[in-house]
Structure 1
Amino acid sequence: MKITVIGTGYVGLVSGTCLAESGNQVICADIDAEKIARLRQGEIPIYEPGLRELVRRNVSEARLRFTTDIQAAVEQSLVIFIAVGTPARPDGASDLGPVFQVAKTIAHAMSDFKVIVIKSTVPVGTNERVRQTITGLTKQEFEVVSNPEFLKEGTAVHDFMKPERVIIGTTNEQTAELMKELYAPFVRTGNPIFVMDPRSAEMSKYAANAMLASRISFMNELAQLCERTGADVEQVRLGLGTDSRIGAKFLFPGVGFGGSCFPKDLQALEGADALLLLTEWNEFRSPDFERVKSTMRLPVVFDGRNIYNPGKMRRLGFSYYGIGRRS
C-alpha cells in the first residue's frame, strides 16, 4: 500500500517506519527541512530502541523515504496519516492549528480518492472538523479515519509492531476493510482490531490516558500517606496489585509522571550534589554505583521511581531517599 505520513515527530516517525517494515511504500513528510535532511543522512532525532536500525534498513531497501514536498507525497499515496503535534495552549486546550493546516494542504494536493487517517491525539469531534475543512476546499472524494496511537516511550516500536489493540474510527465499511488490511500484519497473533464511530475512537485515547494518569496519581497520594503512617508503599503495592480486579500495572509511585527526558550520559553527574532519578529506563536500573559515587560531590540519591534497593544503596555509602518507603 502507498502511504504518506505527515509529521516526523515521535509518533509519525515510528508509525511510518513500522508501516514500511511490513512492506508498504511509505513517504514521511515534514515542513522542517533540517529534520528531513538529518533523516536522509540516517540521523534519528529521537531515541527509541530499534528505531535507527529499522529506518536504515527500510531506506536502503527503498520502502521508506523522507521529503519536504508534502503535495507530491499526497499525490503519490492512497492513505495519508496526519501525525503532527497538538501542543497545549495557555488555556490547556489542544492547539489543533497544525492538524487543520495539514488538512488544508492535503485538500489542495488531492487529485483522486484519499483515505486521511488522524494519528495525532485530538479532542472528540476533530474528525468531523477535518472532514468539513477538506470538503470546503476540494471536490475530490475522501474518507477521514480516527486511528489513535498507544505508543509508550521506550517500547514504541514494539507497541506498533505488536499492538494490544488497534482502534479504527470510521462508519464507512470499505474504509474499515482497507484499514484492517493495513494493520493485519501487526495482529497475526489474534489481538483485536476494533472498528467504531470516530467520536468513540477519539474518546478512547483520552480515556486510556486519563485512566493511567489516575492510577499513577492515586499511587503518588498513597505513597505520601505511607510516609506519614510509617507504612512501606512497595509492600502495599504488592498487596494491592495481586487483586485481579485491580492488576499490578501502573501502580508504581514516583514524582509525577512524564516522558523520557532524562540525561543519557552519567558524566552529567560530575560534581553533582544529588542524583534525582525520574525514569525506569533499563539503562538506569543497574549502573556502576561506585563510578556514580566517585563523580558526585555528595552521594545523595532521590529515587523517584523506587527502583533501587534502599539497604544496598546505604551499604554503598549513599544517602538514599525513596517515595513512600521507610527511611
Structure 2
Amino acid sequence: MGEKGMNIAVIGAGYVGLVTGVSFANLGNDVVCVENDREKLALLRKAVPPFYELGLAELLKKNIDAGRLRFSDTVSDGIRNAEAIFIAVGTPSLPDGSADLSAVWSVAEEIAAHLDHKALIVTKSTVPPGTTKELKNFLASRLDVKFEVANNPEFLRQGTAIRDFILPDRIICGVEGDYGKRVLGSLYSGIARPDRPILFMDTVDSELVKYASNTFLALKISFINEIASFCASLGGDIDEVAKGMGLDRRIAPRFLHAGIGFGGSCFPKDTKALVYEMEKRSLYPGILKEVLKRNQLQRMLVIEKLKMLYPEGISGKSVGIWGLSFKPNTDDMRNAPSIDIISALLEEKAVVRAYDPYAMKQANRIFPDVTYCPNAYDAAREVDALLVLTEWHEFRDLDFERVVSLMHNPVMVDGRNMFNPRDMSRLGFRYLSIGRRDYI
C-alpha cells in the first residue's frame, strides 16, 4: 500500500457498491467501480448518483475530481491493477425465498477469465453461509495466480450510509488466510477503533453474522408490532410500553417503534433467505416465519382501520398518501409497505394521491395511475383520508389546521405513530394509529 493507498475494484455500483467505492476513495484509495447498466454508468461518470443518499453526491464529485474514483463497464478493466476486488452485486430473493446468486457467479466467471495477478477477492454482497468457500473452490479450479477470498458484510443503513461506513459499530471480516487479514486490516485501519473493532473470523461465521443481525432486527420490529396489537385491545399506548422496555440495557430502545412494519432491500430478503437455508437443512425456522407473517399483517392494518371508518367501502374514496419510500432519507421503494397498501387501495377502487420528497419517480414506475403531488398539502386536498406511511421529518413541521381545511374528511391513519393522538384530535382530525387509542 503506497502513498495513494490501495488499488481497489468494486464490482457493482448499486447502493452498497457505490457507497463502498466512494467511501474507500475518500479514505485515499484508488477505486474503480464496475457497472454494466449504461444509463447508471452515464450518470456516475457525470458525478450524478443514480439514487438519493445523504452526503453521497458531494463525496462522489469530490473523489472523481481528485482522480481517486472512476467508473468502468467491464470487470476486466476494473480488476486490472486491483489488490482487493469487492463483489457488491445484488442478491435478490427468488420466489422460493432463496438468494439469487446468479450475479455473484457471473462476476466470478469474469474474475476467473481475467485476473492475472495476486489479489484478495471479497464478497461484499449478502450471501448465504458457505458461499465464499464455494467461490474459493470455483476460482481455485480456474486461476493460475495466487489469490485469497474473504467476506466483508456491510451494515449500512439507508439515509445514514456514509456515516455508517466511517463510524461503524463493528467491522466484520471473514478471512481464509493471513493475506486477507493483512489487506482488510490495512484498508480499515483508518476507521477501526477500540470501540468499533475489526473482528476477524471464518467466512461462514461472518456470512451468518450478517443474516443473524438483520433477522434479529426484523424480529424486534415484528415483536413490538405484535405487542402493539395487544396493547391496542387494552386501550393502552404502545409508545409508552416501548419506552419502558427500551430503558432496559438488555433490550435497548432502537427498533422498538410500532408501525406498519419493515421493508427495504435487506430485512425481508435476508429473513426469507435464512428461512430457506434452514429448511434446506431440515431445521425449523418457526420464529423467523412468524416474523414475516406479522410484518405482512402490519401492512394491512391501515386498510383495516380505513374500512372501519368507511363500512360502506372505500370505492371512489380519495385517499392521500404521505410517504412512499420504505424509510425516510432514501428514495428506495424496494419492499416498501406503501406498495402493498397502495395496491390494496387501487384494488378497492380508491383514488390515490401521493407525496414523497424523493421516491415519487420510483413509485411512478410501479403505480402510473396514482396522482403524484408537489407537496404534502396538495396530497391532502379534498381527500377522504390521509395515510402516513413514511416518517419524513418534514411532515412534523406542517400547518395541520391548513391540512384539516384542505381535506374533504379530516381522517388520518398514522402508520408510523408520528403524531400525538390527543393533539391531532384537538386539531380536528379523526386520528387512528398503531397500538394506541383511536380518536374517532
Normalized against structure 1, the TM-score is what?
Answer: 0.94
Partner of 2:183: 178
Contact 2:152 2:173 in 1 (8 A): yes
Partner of 2:159: 154
Residue 321 (str. 1) matches residue 321 (str. 2)? no
CA shift in 2, pair 1:165/1:223, >3 Å:
same
Q: Per the alignment, in what secondary structure is the counterpart of residue 249 of structure 1?
A: coil
Give the alignment partner of residue 137 of structure 1, picking from 138, 142, 148: 142
Deviations 1:183-220 (A, max 9, x none): 11122464110000000000000110111011100000
Q: Could you tell which deviates more after superposition, 180-189 or 155-164? A: 180-189
Residue 276 (str. 1) matches residue 281 (str. 2)? no
Partner of 1:88: 93
Contact 1:293 1:299 in 2 (8 A): yes
What amino acid maps onto 1:90 in structure 2? P
Distance 1:134 1:295 in 2: 63
Partner of 1:44: 49
Give the alignment partner of residue 212 of structure 1, picking from 203, 211, 217: 217
Residue 304 (str. 1) matches residue 415 (str. 2)? yes
What is the aligned-residue RMSD (CA, Å)? 1.8
Give the alignment partner of residue 246 of structure 1, picking from 248, 251, 262: 251
Distance 1:290 1:63 in 2: 51
Partner of 1:64: 69
Contact 2:84 2:183 in 1 (8 A): no
Contact 1:115 1:175 in 2 (8 A): yes
* CA deviation after TM superposition for structure 1 residue 285, in Å: 3.7
* CA deviation after TM superposition for structure 1 residue 181, in Å: 1.0
Distance 1:308 1:54 in 2: 35
Contact 2:120 2:183 in 1 (8 A): no
CA shift in 2, pair 1:27/1:295, >3 Å:
farther
Contact 2:83 2:120 in 1 (8 A): yes
CA shift in 2, pair 1:118/1:302, >3 Å:
same
* CA deviation after TM superposition for structure 1 residue 164, in Å: 0.7
What amino acid maps onto 1:94 in structure 2? A
* CA deviation after TM superposition for structure 1 residue 271, in Å: 4.7
Give the alignment partner of residue 30 of structure 1, picking from 18, 25, 35: 35
Q: Per the alignment, in what secondary structure is the counterpart of residue 397 of structure 2?
A: coil
Distance 1:93 1:309 in 2: 41
Count how many residue pairs are aligned between Structure 1 and Structure 2: 327
Deviations 1:242-286 (A, max 9, x none): 122211111111111113337225345555433322333433443
Q: Report matched runs for 1:187-266 at 5 Å.
A: 187-188=192-193, 190-259=195-264, 260=326, 261=333, 263-264=356-357, 265-266=375-376
Deviations 1:42-99 (A, max 9, x none): 2211111111111111111111111112211111211111010001001110000000
Q: Per the alignment, in what secondary structure is the counterpart of residue 190 of structure 2?
A: helix
Partner of 1:2: 7
Q: Per the alignment, in what secondary structure is the counterpart of residue 26 of structure 1?
A: strand
Deviations 1:265-311 (A, max 9, x none): 53455554333223334334433435544554443222112121112
Segments of 5+ residues of structure 1 without an aligned counterpart are none
Q: Percent identity among equivalent residues?
A: 46
Contact 1:154 1:281 in 2 (8 A): no
CA shift in 2, pair 1:268/1:142, >3 Å:
farther
Q: Could you tell which deviates more after superposition, 31-40 or 316-325? A: 316-325
Distance 2:54 2:400 in 1: 24
What amino acid maps onto 1:127 in structure 2? T
Distance 1:282 1:142 in 2: 47
Distance 2:250 2:244 in 1: 12
Contact 1:104 1:137 in 2 (8 A): no
CA shift in 2, pair 1:118/1:223, >3 Å:
same
Q: Per the alignment, in what secondary structure is the counterpart of residue 132 of structure 2?
A: helix
Q: Per the alignment, in what secondary structure is the counterpart of residue 307 of structure 1?
A: coil
Partner of 2:116: 111
Q: Could you tell which deviates more after superposition, 287-296 or 235-244? A: 287-296
Partner of 1:98: 103
Segments of 5+ residues of structure 2 without an aligned counterpart are 1-5, 265-325, 327-332, 339-355, 358-374
Distance 2:402 2:47 in 1: 33
Distance 2:404 2:57 in 1: 32
What amino acid maps onto 1:310 in structure 2? P
Contact 2:148 2:176 in 1 (8 A): no
CA shift in 2, pair 1:299/1:41, >3 Å:
farther
Distance 2:152 2:398 in 1: 39
